[in-house]
Amino acid sequence: MSAASELRLQTWDAGEHAPVSTPLRFSGAVASAEVRCLPGASALHVAVANGEGVRLRAEVSAEPDEIVPLRFELEDGVLHLSSHRRSILHLPVEVRYAPLAPIGPAPAPASLDVAIVVDGTTRSWPQAEQPGATRLLDQKDRWSEHVEELVRFVERVAEDGNCRVTAIAFGDQEPPAVTARDLQPHYLLYPDADDRVFQRFDAERLRDLLLNLPSSPGADFIDAAADALDACARLSWRTEARRLAIVTGDSPGASLLYPLPKGADLCVRRFDVDTRVRELHRNRVEVLTIYHPPPAALLMLRRELLTGTREQYERLASLRELAFTSTSFDPESAAAQFRGHSAAIARGAALGELVRTAASSRRAQ
C-alpha cells in the first residue's frame, strides 16, 4: 500500500449530492474520523482509496443519523479499520461492491409521480376474535375506506397540481399441482403491462381506479409482491419528478436475504423483493408501505410468518417514518412526513456524511 498521506476516505456530500474524498490525517500509523449515517441507511459503508483505487471497503453497523467513530491503522502496509467494538463486515474492493447512491432532494417546486401497489390478496377480518376472513377488495365498504385514505394522501402530497398517478395490483403465480379453484390466482399482475400508465391526478378518477381493482386468491403465503415492484421500476417515471411508490397489503414477496419459514412458498420465483426495491431506489423512487396486520389471535398461531411479513414491509419503506400499518396510517400526517423530508435518503449500507477527521494516537480505541 502507498504512503498514508495518499489515503483518502470516501463520504457523501449532501450539498453537492455526490461522493467526495477527504485525506485521512495520520499521526504515525493511526488516523480517525467521525461519519454520520444517512437517513434510510441500515449500515455505514466505509471506503478508503489512493491513486491506485480502493484499498479498503467495509460495512460498519450503525443506525440512521448516528455519528460513527472510525479508527484506521497502518500496519506493515495493511490498513486496518475498527469502530469501538461495532460489527464490521469487510468486503472485496471491486467497484461492484460499492453502495447505492442516496436519493437526493427533489428540486422545488417538483412535479410528482405516484404508483400505488395494491396486494389483491389482502384479507379483511370481520372481528379481531374471529378466525375467518374474506379478501379486502371484495369488502367494498371496508376497501372504500382505505381507498379514501389513499386518495386523501395523494391530494395532500399533490398540492401544486403537477402530479400523475397509476395503480398496480398483484396476486400470485399459479403454484404447481394445485387444482382447487379457490386457490388458483386470478392474475399475477393487474392490469396488463400496456395499461400500466401514469395519468394526471384526478381524485375521482383515482378513486374509481382503486375501487375497481379485482381481488385474487393468493394460493400460498408468499405472493407476487416482488413482481409488482419490478413492474413498478419499469414504469415511465418523469425524469424531473419526485417519485413515490405506495405498497399496501398483507402479503410478503419472496426474499433471498430474509426468507420466510419453509412451507410459505410453493413456487420458483423470478424476482425477490430486496433486489427489486434496490432497483426502485436506483431509479430514485421512494417507497411508503402500509401493512394490514391480522388479529392478535392469529399472530399467536402464525408468529414467524406474520412477524417476517411485517418486518419485510418495514424494510421496504425508504424511511422508518414511511412504514405504516393500516391502523397507524393517517393521510394528513403521512403526507406531512413525506413532504417534510428534504434530506438525502440512503438504502442498505451507504456512504455517510463526514463530521470530522483527526490524527490519532496508537492507544486510541
In 3-state terms, what secondary structure has residue 245?
A: strand
What pLDDT does 365 receive? 42
Ordered alpha helix ranges (H), the chain:
140-157, 203-211, 225-233, 273-282, 296-301, 303-316, 331-340
CA atoms of 99 and 44, how far apart (whole Å): 10
* pLDDT, tens digit only, all 365 positions of the chain: 456 778 999 999 988 999 999 999 998 899 999 999 999 999 999 999 999 999 999 999 999 999 999 999 999 889 999 999 899 999 999 999 999 999 998 777 779 999 999 999 998 876 544 555 789 999 989 999 999 999 999 999 997 779 999 999 999 998 887 777 777 899 999 999 999 999 999 999 999 999 999 999 987 899 999 999 999 999 999 999 999 999 999 999 999 999 998 889 888 899 999 999 999 999 999 999 999 998 776 666 678 899 999 999 999 999 999 999 999 999 999 999 999 888 899 999 999 999 999 876 554 44
CA atoms of 229 and 281, how far apart (whole Å): 11
What pLDDT does 295 receive? 79
What pLDDT does 262 receive? 87
DSSP 119-169: ETT-EE-S-TT----EEGGG-HHHHHHHHHHHHHHHHHHTTTS-EEEEEEE
What pLDDT does 303 receive? 83
- Residue labelled with grid coordinates 488516523: 31
Residue 82 bridge partners (DSSP): 71
pTM for this one? 0.93
What is the DSSP pairing of strand 285-291 with strand 323-325? Answer: parallel
Q: Is the distance from CB of 256 to CB of 222 less than 8 angstroms?
A: no
Which of 144-175 are b and which e, b meaning 16 or more Cβ less than 10 Å from the residue's Cβ? eebbebbbbbbbbbbeeebbbbbbbbbbbbeb
Instruction: Report the chain's terminal Cα–Cα distance, integer Å.
Output: 23
Count of residues for the chain? 365
Q: How far is CA 260 from CA 171, 234, 265, in A?
A: 18, 27, 8
Domains for the chain: give ranges and CATH numbers: 4-103+347-359 (no CATH), 112-340 (3.40.50.410)
- Phi, psi dihedrals of residue 252, rounded to the nearest 5°: -85, 165
In 3-state terms, what secondary structure has residue 103?
A: strand
What is the DSSP pairing of strand 242-249 with strand 112-119? Answer: parallel
What pLDDT does 299 receive? 63
CA atoms of 176 and 265, how far apart (whole Å): 11
The dihedral formed by the CA atoms of 101, 105, 110 and 115, expressed in degrees to the nearest 10: 50
Of 50, 45, 43, the C-alpha closest to 26 is 50
Q: Is the distance from CB of 22 to CB of 357 less than 8 angstroms?
A: yes
Q: How far is CA 312 from CA 273, 277, 305, in A?
A: 9, 11, 11
Conformational region of residue 192, where left means phi above 0, alpha means psi within -120 to 50, and beta covers everything else:
beta
CA atoms of 173 and 190, how far apart (whole Å): 12
CA atoms of 69 and 25, how far apart (whole Å): 14
Q: Residues near 185 by Cβ (< 8 Å), separated by ≥ 6?
A: 121, 171, 172, 173, 174, 216, 217, 218, 219, 224
Of 268, 239, 241, the C-alpha closest to 256 is 268
CA atoms of 251 and 265, how far apart (whole Å): 11
* Residue 335: all three cell numbers together: 403526507
- Phi, psi dihedrals of residue 164, rounded to the nearest 5°: -120, 150
